[in-house]
Every structure is written in C-alpha cells, then in structure tokens.
Structure 1
Amino acid sequence: MRRQTSVIFYALTAYVLLQFGWWGFHLIDLTQELNNDPEHLSKRALMILGEGTVFFIIVFFGLWKIQSSIKKELELSAKQQNFVLSITHELKTPIAAVKLYLQTLGKRSLQEEKRDEILRKALLENNRLEHMIENVLTVARIENQAFRFHPEPVTISETIEEVISSVCAFDTCKVSIDCPKDLVYKTDKFALHTILSNLTENALKYAGKDCEITIHCNRSEGRLHLNFSDNGPGVPEEKLKSIFQRFLRLENEETRNSKGAGLGLYIVNQFVLGQGGTISVKNKKTSGLLFSISL
C-alpha cells in the first residue's frame, strides 16, 4: 500500500510538471505567431515566465505539503499496525501464562515451595497485564482530553518507594534513591506514580537481570526536579528525540526481544508537559539513559 501510494503521487507530480512545461511552450509559440514584434514578444515571454514561475512555486509547495502529509500518515499507519501486533502479544502472553499456572495448580499436588513460586509467577503476569491495560486507558483519556490533574501535597520519597516496591516486587534490581524524606510537593499523585512506574518498567525491560536504577530528587526555585537513570543499553542518538512518540518501539514486532506496547514513555512525556514541566533524555557516558524531569 505504501509503495502504491508513493508511485501514484510521483507519477502525478511528473505529469503536472510536464503539462506545465508543455503549456508554457505553446503559449510562447502562440504569442510569436500572433505578433512578430520582437520587443512585444520579449515582454510577453517575460510575463509568461514570471507567472509560470509563481505557478510552479505554488504547485511545488502544494505537492511538497501533500507528500509530507502522505509520509506522516504512512508512518502513523505503520506505528498503529505495530501497536496492534504488540498489544495482541502483550494480551495473549500473560493470559496464557496465568491459565497454565492455574491449570498446573488444579491438576497437580505440589510442594508448598513450588506452589508459592507458581503463584508468584501468576501474580507477576497479572500485574504486567494490569499495568498494560492501565496504560492503554490512560492514553485514551489523554487523547480525548478527558484527563484532569488534581494537585495535592505528596511526600515524594514515599511515592518513589511505593512504585519501586510494586514494580520491582518480583525482579532483582538494584535501586538507589537519593531523595529527602521530608520533601513534600504539591502535584498530581497518580500522574507522578505513573511517570515513575513507566520509567521503572522501561529500565527493567532493557537493563535485564543486572538492572541498576538511580533516582535523585530535590526542590529548587519552587520546582520539583527528578533525575532517573538506568544501566541499560541506551538508545541510538538519532532516535533519542523520538522516544516519547506514541506507539513508538525501536524493535520490529515480529523479531522483538523486549516487552511493551510503545506507550509508557509517551504517557510520561504527556504527564510532565501537562503539569507545565519539562523532560529531557540523554545517553549516559557509561551505559543507560538519564531522564531529567522538572515539575
């Protein structure tokens, strides 16, 4: 479909330009036949060329805008198709896993240690499914402009610890938190919780078993500053500016190794900007990403 659209567009562009040249040639030729005065012919040719140049610029600009719009639509279509593939995979995998665990518990008599391990894995898959559905619903609310922020006094260190204990409950990840215990800031607690959850999920996804997360926060000039870093592989420099885009995943859905639906960092960006904040990301000198957030 993408190739067919491009072929049609460039064929029409070539046709318009050829017709323009053919029209200009005949107009000049007709003027020469009607009037053999060289001075008049010269003025007439200049007028035709001038008007033709303006016409060409307008046509060229219009074609460029059309081509740009087609490109954006095709990119969005590809992202949406990628999203459908990823969300299908993300739904089927935990559901199938939980079903298998429940069937195992129902059909076999297991030792208490083994039963606890299966229950732990089932709960992990359920949490993963719940987090993914929550992200999809949150994106829908953002897109429909239905989400409203409700600022309230929040103890930042407590919120960070809640997120870490919840998201990293079944993962071995070294987490270092540098945040004053008495730091209270007025912000939307759900939004802050979601920002930290998605950044943590992102770190766990790419850093793997040897995951290391460092969170630093402080208050300065009436703003809350959060620095969140991990030790993952990082992101190619040319793709850093686009990682907050909706549906974006750096891997192909048919060959990917990591989990996710390409919504987490989009939500993070929207929740930061929605509260009048700023967010930036860069690759660390060693390895991993550093997210700098100011609310």
Structure 2
Amino acid sequence: MARLSDEELIAELKKRFDATKQALYDVKMVTSKLEEVNKKLQASEQIKSNFISHMKNEINNPLTSILGLSEQLRSGLIPPEMTQSIATSIHSEAFSLDFQLRNIFAAAEMESGETQLQISLTDVLTLIRDSIDSFNHLIADKNLTVTLPEKKEDDDQLLFKTDTEKLSLIFSNLISNAVEFNHENGAIEINATILNGRLNVTIRDTGPGIDPEKIHTIFDRFVQLESGVRKSHKGHGLGLSIVQALVEMMEGNITVDSVAKGKGTIFSVSIPEVQTNMEADAFSVDGNEFFFDDEEVKAF
C-alpha cells in the first residue's frame, strides 16, 4: 500500500472534515425542520382543541335556549302577548344552529374528499335575495341597509351554470360575516355580474375593517381574529375557510380588501362557468334540479 504524502494526507483529512461538517449541518437543518413541524402540529392541535370546546358551546347554547323557550310555550303559562317574542327567539336560535351545522357538515365532507359538484342552471340574483332573506332577522336587529344587484328592465335573472347549493353556502357565509362584523345602522352592498364566462360577486360592509397584517389569516380554519371568553363576535372560525375551499373547488378565486381601519371590508369572488351542453330550458329557479355530477362535468 502506497504511503500518502503530507500534502495528500492533509487533503484527505480536509475532505473528510468537510464531509463531516456537511453531515452535521444537514442533521442540524433536519432537526430544525422537525422542530418547526412539531411546533406547527402542537399549534394545530391547540387550535382544534379550542375549536371543539368553543363549538360545544356554540351548539349547546342554542339547543338549551330552544328547549327552554319551547318548554315555556308548551306549559301554556305564557301570556298571549309574549308568544310572538318567544317564537321569534326560537327561530333565531334554530337558524343559528342550522347554519353552524351546515358549515360543520360541509367541512367534514370536504375533509373526507366526499364533496362533488352538482351542476344546474342557477338564478344568481334569486339565490342572493334568498340568502339575504334568511338573515333578515339579524339584519333588522342591527338596522342595516342592504343594497342588492339591480334588476335589468328586460330580464330579472342572472343565469349561471354552477353548483347551486355550494354557491348558496358561499353567499350565506359572506353575508353572515358582513352582518356580524358590521356597525349598528351600517350598510351591506352586494353586486353581481357575469363577464367573459365568469360570475363576479362583491360583498361590501361598513364594519371596522381588518388589520392588514392579519388579512392573510382570516381564511385559516378554526382561526378567529378575536378569541377567548370576552370576544365580541359569534362564530367558530370555520365560515371563511369553507368559502375559500368551495371557491377553489369551483376553480375560482376570492380576495379581500380592507385598506383602512374603520372603512369596512370588501370580499370579491370570481367563479368560472361550468362548460356543459345543458339545454337552455333545463332550468330550476331554486336550483334543486341537478343535471351533472362532478365526473360528467370533467368529460366536457
């Protein structure tokens, strides 16, 4: 075996030292990444834990109210003049519970990969008006002014081929957000147009707006800008994440603009129309008549 010269020995030692140094660096980087992933997992588990705890209250509170109020009605001891007020309270609590459960079920379906598009010819203006009507009791509580898309003289419909049920849930969550995060005597303005095969909808409120540094977090699941027992707004941090997921499933996009604190917020949704060979008269005003499932849409 040939003896190495001093220069060759030094070069070999340097080579092995560099290799060891690189290996130590790689181990350090992997360790750092694992620690970062672990922190994110811990944060995620904490968020989910907080969500479950909060969701329990969000469901139990309306149920408890409904049971208590309905028991008062059932007892027959309520003065007639109070019946309407109690019935209104029961409706409000039941509506809140139903809306929250719809979001939970939608999130669960998307999480499991069971959600598919069901395409029908949708009357967008009617869908928006119906969504607003369902929130009328909350709108009245805050004395909000709502401006809806104007009807054209020759046609009061805005027809668009999409998944009606999912579009309705998108509208409901954005309207709910505009109502919840608005001032007393504030306003909500909704516009909708179809241009170049895309449905473009904007929902503007006159609420406090969103801190620009926190805008990127509002679509995160289970995240609310307010937290804790003293938060001033209802909700569970699920609605906007569902909106974003549904919009992306429909190959659209959603943006939020809140340029100045106290100047309100604008949510803008843009969704492409599904290209199908649907006949012009294959139409259901309430969107309950479906024509294509997700697999059939892909074939076009």
Q: TM-score range by the shorter chain?
A: 0.7 to 0.9
**In structure 2, what is the equivalent of residue 89 of structure 1?**
57
| Residue equivalent to 1:22 | none
Change (3 A) 1:245 1:218: same
Question: Which residue number corresponds to residue 270 of structure 2?
Answer: 294
1:125-136 equivalences under 5 Å are 125-136=93-104
Aligned to 1:184, which of 150, 153, 159? 159
1:281 to 256, 261, 272: 256
Aligned residues: 261
> SS of 1:293's equivalent?
strand
How far, CA to CA, are the matches of 1:132 and 1:186 in structure 2?
A: 27
Question: 1:69 offset after TM fit, Å?
Answer: 1.0
Q: What's 2:182 paired with?
A: 207
Percent identical among aligned pairs is: 25
Secondary structure of 2:254's aligned partner: strand
8 Å Cα contact 1:214-1:229 kept in structure 2: yes
Given that 2:126 and 2:157 are in contact with CA atoms closer than 8 Å, whether structure 1 keeps it comes out as no
Q: Secondary structure at the match of 1:149?
A: coil
Alignment match, 1:223: 198
Q: 1:154: which partner in 2?
A: 122
1:139 counterpart = 2:107: yes
Q: State the distance in 2 between where 1:38 and 1:212 align.
A: 84
Q: Matched residue of 2:207: which SS?
A: coil
Q: Secondary structure at the match of 2:184?
A: helix
Deviation at 1:107, TM superposition (A): 4.1
Cα distance in 1 between the residues matched to 2:107 and 2:242: 7
Equivalent residue for 1:198, pick from 173, 183, 186: 173
Partner of 1:253: 228
Deviations 1:132-184 (A, max 9, x none): 11111110000011111112111111100000001223432211112543311
Q: 1:113 aligns with which of 81, 94, 107?
A: 81
TM-score normalised per structure 2: 0.81
The 1-side partners of 2:119 and 2:150 are apart by: 20
Give the match for residue 263 of structure 1. Answer: 238
Once residues 150 and 37 of structure 2 are traced to their aligned partners in structure 1, the CA distance between those partners, rounded to angstroms, is: 46
Q: Which has the higher contact order (CA 8 A, sep 6+)?
A: 2
Deviation at 1:260, TM superposition (A): 0.9
8 Å Cα contact 2:183-2:206 kept in structure 1:
no
State the structure with more CA Rg: 1
**Match for residue 146 of structure 2?**
175
Report what 1:79 is aligned to.
Answer: 47
Deviation readout 1:191-213 (Å, 9 max, x if unpaired): 11100101111122221533421
Which residue in 2 is equivalent to 1:20?
none
**Which range is displaced more, 37-46 or 152-161?**
37-46
108-117 or 272-281, which deviates more: 108-117
CA distance in 2, matches of 1:100, 1:203: 30
More deviation, 279-288/128-137: 279-288
| Residue identity in the other structure for 1:251 | E
Relative to structure 1, the CA distance from residue 211 to residue 103 in structure 2 (aligned partners, 3 Å threshold; closer, same or farther) is farther
Question: Quick one: distance in 1 between partners of 2:185 and 2:60?
Answer: 27
**Greater shift after overlay, 116-125 or 205-214?**
205-214
Tell me if the contact between 2:148 and 2:191 (Cα under 8 Å) persists in the aligned partners: yes
Q: Which residue of 187, 211, 214 corresponds with 1:239?
A: 214
Partners in 2 of 1:259 and 1:170 — Cα distance? Answer: 12
Tell me the amino acid that sits aligned with residue 148 of structure 2: I
1:50-89 paired onto structure 2 within 5 Å: 50-89=18-57
| Contact 2:138 2:179 (C-alpha < 8 Å) held by counterparts | no
Distance 2:34 2:44 in 1: 15
CA contact (8 A) 1:179 1:218 kept: no
Counterpart residue number, 2:291: none
Query: What one-letter code is carried by the residue in structure 2 that aligns with 1:217?
Result: A
Query: Distance between the aligned counterparts of 2:64 and 2:186, measured in 1?
Result: 27
Greater helix proportion: 1
TM-score, length-scaled by structure 1: 0.82
Which runs of 5 or more residues in structure 2 are unaligned? 272-300
Instruction: Give 1:190 deviation, angstroms.
Output: 0.4
Larger deviation, residues 37-46 vs 79-88: 37-46
